[in-house]
Structure 1
């Protein structure tokens, strides 16, 4: 597979973190506000799956969210650079995405929700960040670079597509491919079906019970994030909880991947993937071999959890 579409647009765009780090931080907090609206309005689903966003053909969406007997949806459109709110009665609202403070974005969104008769109250303190300033009080100027936001979304769209191919190979309990706004990362998680030891918690500004519920059962999880901390560039990751003995030393593919002792997970730089002549194949190799290592070393019942053929061949 090449890295060029018929229109000449890069299918796997370069998104170096240093080129858009300020905008990345802005988008992180804006998605938390939208994600918390879905979280507040939706019944709790195990592992916080009721709170996530999903990749669309234009950006990120909440998917349908209940408000009493009504339904609404909020979507980030990273082509038109607009936030849209749509209701089941056909009403629409929204506003242009532009450089502005978190408090300004929060106020504009809550005004739109009120105008559409969709009042909602959320916990205004962000999660999984060290400096948790309430959204309505974070009035510092913020950046919004539409070029790099669009590139980031186009990367997410490609990753979402390949992750769904990988997810389809598994018939045990498995998460959707979804966007966790806490980190933020696009992730998919497989479960062995067995309970896991209690997670120690300790994630900044996230209640330990949330983390412990998320890791209540054994998992092999993979994802993509824009980078930060010990990995200051966009990258794919794969980890197991609990981490089986020998996992860090497992032989995985491709050669560009490595085990991060800081993160306790395998890491594959995004640049290695988009620069590859076969990005899909390289990423699938990483996802499969790291899962193989987790499942084999932890003695998962792989025969009952995995699909051995594509059912579409018989239809």
Structure 2
């Protein structure tokens, strides 16, 4: 259960996008490299659920990745600022996280995998990024401000916690709370159970069939991202696919939330949550009211898909 915040300033850190925009762009590409390693080794799961990263106690993690009869795991440590690679063969390696180009990071990581006997090949082109540069040729993105990255991770810890409480209220098909490296956001998605019309695709540097598979069924999806893509501040979002009639005019809480016609989704600035007397309550209100708008307008069977958390016993 979400708990009262001990210290708003400590628990929900400031996250000014302009101050770490370049670092964010570099880190985004680093997470794509790591995510594509997982993609190359993992059986395809519907909606691309086999590719995300997960918030951990120190950063972001792939979770175990299969390799033949063994497994390995890659972790971003945003406290000591290192990329950690551990294998089930009891081998470990460490790659420092410091100011370096994407090309240098790519070469260092692939060489380290080779030292561990992990022969893995990935597509070196970034996904969902316009004007993308191959990882092995990208000397443009080379920023890394450790303090900003730690603040971002601390924000992810809070968001991950609240998203998991929101997820627990749903009985139907629902994604894990996971970090998609393509769009660089933490997301959780609920499903009505009904098929959706084919998605038009159109994401930069991503095959349309991936989008069609991801949106094969009706969804209400919420997430958090640090900024970019037309919004120069950290924000929460919520959208439905397909978008039901009247969704943009729905009464979504809190008053700071608004519908972006450009993005086609509801937006709640992160700072409004961070500065609230009860950030958890404010965020849960946004998640629940935007989901309810989508579910009611699209006539989801909410009685069958939801549960009252009061009725859930504690063992």
TM-score bin, normalised by smaller chain: over 0.9
Structure 2 residue 13 is matched with structure 1 residue 13: yes
Distance 1:84 1:314, change over 3 A: closer
Structure 1 SS opposite 2:223 = strand
Write the distance in 1 (CA, Å) between the matches of 2:38 and 2:218.
26
Q: Which portions of structure 1, spanning 4 or more consecutive aligned residues, are displaced by more than 3 angstroms?
A: 309-312
Mapping for residues 199-210 of structure 1, pairs under 5 Å: 199-210=199-210
Report the alpha carbon displacement of residue 308 of structure 1 after superposing the two structures with TM: 2.2
Does the aligned pair in 2 maintain the 1:3–1:274 contact within 8 Å? no
Provide the residue aligned with 2:7 in structure 1.
Answer: 4
Aligned pair count? 312
Does the aligned pair in 2 maintain the 1:85–1:92 contact within 8 Å? yes
Does the aligned pair in 1 maintain the 2:26–2:141 contact within 8 Å? no
Write the distance in 1 (CA, Å) between the matches of 2:86 and 2:141.
28
Structure 2 SS opposite 1:255 = coil
- Deviations 1:71-111 (Å, cap 9, x if unpaired)? 00000000000000001121100211000010100000001
Unaligned runs of 5+ in 2: none
Write the distance in 2 (CA, Å) between the matches of 1:248 and 1:134.
38
Provide the residue aligned with 1:298 in structure 2.
Answer: 298
Mapping for residues 52-91 of structure 1, pairs under 5 Å: 52-91=52-91
Structure 2 residue 278 is matched with structure 1 residue 244: no
RMSD: 1.2
Mapping for residues 104-119 of structure 1, pairs under 5 Å: 104-119=104-119
Report the alpha carbon displacement of residue 57 of structure 1 after superposing the two structures with TM: 0.5
Does the aligned pair in 2 maintain the 1:198–1:212 contact within 8 Å? yes
Mapping for residues 88-237 of structure 1, pairs under 5 Å: 88-140=88-140, 142-237=142-237
- Deviations 1:193-238 (Å, cap 9, x if unpaired)? 0000011100000100000000000000000001113311000000
Write the distance in 2 (CA, Å) between the matches of 1:109 and 1:141.
16
TM-score, length basis structure 1: 0.97
TM-score, length basis structure 2: 0.97
Does the aligned pair in 1 maintain the 2:22–2:141 contact within 8 Å? no
